[in-house]
Homo-oligomer: A and B are copies of this chain.
Amino acid sequence: MADPLSFYLDDKPQPGTGSNFNVDYVIHYKLPTTSVNEKEEAEAAFIQLINALSAVGFATEVRPGGKSSLLVFTKIASEKLLTSQVYRYRIQDWLFGVRTSAPNQDLSKYLEEEPVSEAERLRLTYLLITKSKNEGGAGITAKVGKWKYVDSIFPLHDHAFNHRWIKAWSGKYFLDEEDLNRIRDKFGERVAFYFAFLQSYFAFMLFPAAFGFAAWLILGKFSWFYAVVNSLWSVVFFEHWKTKEVDLAVRWGVRGVSRIQHPRPQFQFEREAQDPVTGEIVRVYSPFKRLSRQLLQIPFALACVVVLGGLIVSCFGIEVFITEIYTGPFKQYLTFLPTVLLTIFMPTFSGLLTNLAEKLTKAENYETHDAHQASFIEKIFVLNFITSYLPIFLTAFVYVPFGKLLVPYLDVFKVTAQSFTTMEKPVTKSWEINPDRLTQQVIYFTVTAQIVNFLTEVIVPYAKRKVFKKVQEVQSEFSGNGHELQIKDHPDEADFLKRVRNEAELDQYDVTVDYREMVVQFGYLSLFSVIWPLAACSFLVNNWVEARSDAMKIAIGSQRPVPWRADSIGPWLHSLGFLSWLGSIISAALVYLFNKHDINPDGTPWDISGWALLLSILFAEHIYFAVQLVVRSLVQKLDNPGLQKERAERFAMRKKLLEQTFGSHGHDADLTEEAQGPGHVSSGERITREALEEEARVNATKTPEQLFWLRQRGAAETIEIGRGLIAEVAAANQTKSS
């Protein structure tokens, strides 16, 4: 595959992409290149690998993978094994309430009715490879423990599908139901949920884009009206997505799958205990120990604030000093200093902190993959929050209002600057607030940074791979003579293997990176768009491109993802809610601070009263809560097709079970008639009564209770006696009133 990009632009299929040779998964097995010991270890592990795969029912083929790796191709050996897996997991789904009905007994008929999708096949195959031996799997987990040479386990792309996919999407504005369903069938619900979210977000973005444009033209910046509408929009979007998520989950048949947790192989248990409910043996880790480790999140968050905040504040100070005060030599070069510093240190620090976050999350030792992921995402969110929003917070709430007070402290740079120059005249000028800084910064983050992001996400990895390959080729040309490993592929397979080797070198696709990007963007809109209402227009364009570039990233830039299921966008939902809420506060504060108060270039302190600022925040926040309550109750009242489907399914299932149990209404109908047919009961009643009367005449030893119910013989007598009593009362009253 010479050039993956051109592959998607041409219509001509690339060599080797026509077929996947029925391969389910490819295991990329990296060989050590240094010591002999390691070679032996790798060999032993390889033997174990093949045996483990074969033991659970995989057919295997091995081929050379490149200079120092192997490619192990696996497929499920018999269709019967696959069927049994499908059946087993569908029953599990039903046990967990994901499916409303139990799988049919007649297997072949059942699979005809509900065929196995590609995603389902790949998911179950992956589980069979990775789940532990005592759960019936091969227990192979990439890069962990004895499987450290297993670099990755990945399915092969369906390039014909990818080709159609990218072509189709690049020609349309909106993704429809069918587009998402296709993604779901190929890449699983987890990826499909991302695109569904992106699509929903994109469609909702139309409103703030149009309204923002109008506001920009008419209302200008810092309009309270824009802030209110924007906040309202974010509430509506958030609440809508919450129900949409449930709707989609039901329609895709995955509602509740988050309850079926995949155990983390790395989980370390303290002891084994019996589940009080199911009686199964479960592995236990002390929740208090975990809690004590979770508490480390607090120092971690503080560390993030100190390290990243410190970096940002320093660069901010240097930048202000150089661009707005400094007048000495090399100013044109020094202007780039803060950018350079940020570019060097920010990724370094972020990387370090991300590693730390990963270590912390591992130390928290979660039983399940989802819990682990959620905890990690929480930490990442803190990191991103600081790197993304702190610069604007600084400008809005420190630089502008307190600039005049704080800038003198920048003298530390002045002294440094003065000592580096030999000139007599001062190298600084008196400082004035740059009134456009805030807007410039927001524009930078909402336009420039989005473009930069796009480039780093799509173009850079591609370029990197190209360069890396070239370097390797050149390297091997230089070093390569004599015993260089020669790969001789069978001509039938050569193209295919070349393509698989390419895919093996690609990165794994991580959907959380894409979610993070969207959530951060939502934050800009919710928190800061009141500064520059055009932001949403930029996001609208960006998100159209984003959906396509993410599709490209999956199709060309990454290994095909394992098609996991999901029933929501997971922990990101909380982040969205948090940002939406914070937006109400920050927008109010921004509007209060900047709406009436033109920025004084001379930096004199404004006429800001603390209580009015706090009052507007308090006010905005509580209106936000009230609106959220109303919107939530309204949105919940709306029926959606997914929930209707679920209701109908449950209704039908239970009706069916009822019929099965009682033989098509037989038993139940009897009861119904008896309960509803008045004649039947009351005549039966009368017969009993008569029989009892007979008895009463015979047997005078009745209790008062029995006699009480025998005084009036049936309804007719009760009526008669009642009428008598009514007449008596009327007579008594008439006597009285006369």
Q: What is the interface of chain A, defined by CB distance below 8 A to chain B?
A: 19, 21-22, 31, 33-34, 36, 39, 42-43, 46-47, 50-51, 53-57, 59-62, 64, 67-68, 70, 72-73, 75, 77-78, 80-81, 84-85, 87-88, 91, 94-95, 102, 105, 136, 276-278, 287, 479, 482-485, 490, 492-493, 496, 609-611, 613-615, 617-618, 637, 644, 647-648, 651, 654, 657-658, 661-662, 667-668, 671-672, 674-676, 678, 681-682, 684-685, 688-689, 704-705, 707-709, 711-712, 714-715, 718-719, 721-723, 725-726, 728-733, 735-737
A648 in contact with B278 given A87-B671, A613-B611, A708-B21 (CB within 8 Å): yes
Contact with A60, one of B31, B91, B662, B715 (Cβ below 8 angstroms):
B715
Taking a contact as CB atoms closer than 8 A, the residue among B662, B688, B726 that contacts A105 in the complex is: B662
A726, B136: Cβ atoms closer than 8 Å: no
Shortest Cβ gap from A364 to chain B (Å): 14
Q: What are 23 A-to-B residue pairs whose CB atoms are below 8 Å?
A: A19-B705, A47-B723, A51-B715, A61-B708, A62-B721, A62-B725, A70-B726, A73-B708, A77-B682, A77-B688, A78-B681, A81-B674, A84-B671, A84-B674, A95-B654, A102-B657, A276-B644, A278-B648, A490-B711, A492-B707, A493-B708, A610-B611, A610-B615
Closest 9 pairs between A and B when the two form their complex, measured CB to CB: A610-B611, A483-B735, A54-B715, A614-B614, A55-B678, A492-B704, A57-B681, A611-B611, A77-B685
- Which residues on B sit within 8 Å (CB–CB) of A675? 57, 81, 84-85, 88, 136
A397 to B687, CA, bound (A): 75
Who on chain B is nearest to A87 by CB?
A: B671
Known: A57-B681, A80-B674. A729 touches B62 (CB 8 A): no
- Which of A80, A733, A735 is most buried by chain B, counting CB atoms within 10 A of its CB? A733
Residues of chain B within 8 A (CB-CB) of A708 are 21-22, 61, 73, 492-493, 496
Question: A56 near B278 (CB under 8 angstroms)?
Answer: no
Given contacts A43-B726, A94-B654, A688-B77, contact A102 B661 (CB under 8 A): yes
**Taking the nearest CB of chain B, how far is it from the CB of A415, in angstroms?**
36
A615 vs B609: C-alpha distance when bound (angstroms) = 13
Residue of B nearest to A485 (CB): B732
Is the beta-carbon distance between A685 and B59 smaller than 8 angstroms?
Answer: yes
Distance of A627 from chain B, by nearest CB (Å):
15
User: Please, how many angstroms separate the alpha-carbon atoms of A42 and B482 in the complex?
Assistant: 116
Q: Is the CB of B732 within 8 A of A484?
A: yes
Bound Cα distance A654, B718 (Å): 51
Measured CA separation A81–B733 after assembly (Å): 41
Point out the residues of chain B lying under 8 angstroms from A75, CB to CB.
709
Q: Which residue of B lies closest to A493 (CB)?
A: B708
- Nearest-CB residue, chain B, relative to A33: B733
Cα–Cα distance between A88 and B733 once the two chains are bound (Å): 46
Chain B residues with Cβ under 8 A from A85's Cβ? 675
- Closest-by-CB residue of B relative to A634 is B291
Q: Give Cα A558–Cα B55 distance, bound, in whole angstroms.
A: 74
Instruction: Give the chain B neighbours of A681 by CB distance below 8 A.
Output: 56-57, 77-78, 81
Determine the residue in chain B with the shortest Cβ distance to A622.
B621
Establish whether residues B88 and A483, one from each chain, have CB atoms under 8 Å apart when the complex forms. Answer: no
Q: Contacts of A482 on B, CB cut-off 8 Å?
A: 735
A682 engages B57 (CB within 8 Å)? yes
Are B483 and A736 closer than 8 Å at their CB atoms? yes
Could you tell me the distance between the alpha carbons of A60 and B715 in the complex, rounded to whole angstroms?
7
Could you say which residues of chain B place their CB within 8 Å of the CB of A57? 675, 678, 681-682, 685
Residue in B33, B709, B730 whose CB lies within 8 Å of A61: B709
**B residues near A725, Cβ cutoff 8 Å:** 62, 64, 70
Q: What B residues does A21 contact at CB under 8 A?
A: 704-705, 708-709
Q: Which residues of B contact A485 (CB under 8 A)?
A: 728-729, 732
Give the complex CA separation of A730 and B725 in angstroms.
Answer: 112
Q: Are B722 and A62 in contact (CB under 8 A)?
A: yes
Compute how far the CA of A710 lies from the CA of B50 in the bound complex, rounded to whole angstroms.
16
Contact present for A658 and B102 (CB under 8 Å): yes
| Residue among A613, A644, A726 facing the most chain B CB atoms (10 A cut-off) | A726
Q: Are B654 and A68 in contact (CB under 8 A)?
A: no
Q: Chain B contacts of A88 at CB under 8 A?
A: 671-672, 675
**Which B residues lie within 8 Å of A614 (CB)?**
610-611, 614-615, 618
CB distance from A485 to the nearest CB of B (A): 4
Closest residue of chain B to A706 (Cβ to Cβ) is B22
- The one of B667, B676, B728 in contact with A136, judged by C-beta atoms closer than 8 angstroms, is B676
Look across to chain B and name the residue whose beta carbon is closest to the beta carbon of A94: B654
Query: Are A36 and B105 also in contact (CB < 8 A) when A88-B675, A136-B675, A647-B277 are?
Result: no
Bound Cα distance from A721 to B483, whole angstroms: 19
A678 engages B56 (CB within 8 Å): yes
Contacts A47-B722, A84-B675 given; 16 further ones with Cβ under 8 A? A19-B704, A19-B705, A22-B705, A34-B733, A42-B726, A47-B723, A51-B715, A54-B682, A54-B714, A57-B682, A59-B709, A77-B685, A88-B671, A483-B731, A610-B611, A610-B615
Query: Does B493 lie within 8 Å of A50, measured CB to CB?
Result: no
Give CA–CA (A684, B81) in the complex, Å. 10
C-alpha gap A615/B55 in the complex (Å): 67
Q: Identify the closest chain B residue to A68 (Cβ).
A: B729
Alpha-carbon gap, A615 to B735, bound state (A): 77
Q: Known interface pairs A647-B277, A726-B43, A735-B483. Does A105 touch B661 (Cβ–Cβ under 8 Å)?
A: yes
Docked Cα-Cα span, A433 to B484, in Å, equals 99
Which residue from chain B places its CB closest to the CB of A291 in the assembled complex? B634
Contact call B53/A715, Cβ cutoff below 8 A = yes
Q: Is the CB of B709 within 8 A of A46?
A: no
User: Cβ of A31: which chain B residues have Cβ within 8 Å of it?
Assistant: 726, 729-730
Q: How far is the CA of A233 from the CA of B731 in the complex (A)?
A: 65
A278 to B649, CA, bound (A): 10
Contacts of A651 in B (CB 8 A): 95, 277-278
- Considering only CB atoms, which chain B residue lies closest to A689 in the complex? B59
**Given the complex, which residues of B lie within 8 Å of A34, measured CB to CB?**
733, 737
- Report the bound CA distance from A54 to B719 in whole Å: 11
**B-chain residues with CB within 8 Å of residue A705 when the two chains form the complex:** 19, 21-22
Residues of B within 8 A of A729 (CB): 31, 33, 67-68, 485
